[in-house]
């Protein structure tokens, strides 16, 4: 059960660099980003907190 609570993931992602957060988001599959796991949800929340852009959501210009 350890490692599966939202608090565990928040603490884990808080220690990640911006690059690690971006890599975690960008390497997630469409299925994973459509149905966020607790880990990816924590990544998204941390990226939002740090105001890191979600490149996948910006589309091609």
Q: State phi, psi for 52 to the nearest 5 degrees.
A: -90, 130
Q: Is residue 11 part of a domain?
A: yes
Q: State phi, psi for 25 to the nearest 5 degrees.
A: -70, -50
**DSSP for residue 5:** S
User: What domain range is 45 assigned to?
Assistant: 6-58
| pTM, full prediction | 0.77
Q: Is residue 48 part of a domain?
A: yes
In the chain the first and final C-alpha atoms are separated, in Å, by 43
pLDDT one-digit tens code per residue, 8-48: 899 999 999 999 999 999 999 999 999 999 999 999 999 99
**Residue that wins the pLDDT comparison between 60 and 30:** 30
Contact status, residue 44 vs residue 52, Cβ threshold 8 Å: no
- Number of domains making up the chain: 1
């Amino acid at each position: 059960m350890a490692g599966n609570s939202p608090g565990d993931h928040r603490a884990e992602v808080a220690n990640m660099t911006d690059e690690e957060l971006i890599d975690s988001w960008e390497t997630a599959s469409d299925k994973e980003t459509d149905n966020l796991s607790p880990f990816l949800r924590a990544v998204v929340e941390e990226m939002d907190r740090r105001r890191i852009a979600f490149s996948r959501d910006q589309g091609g210009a």
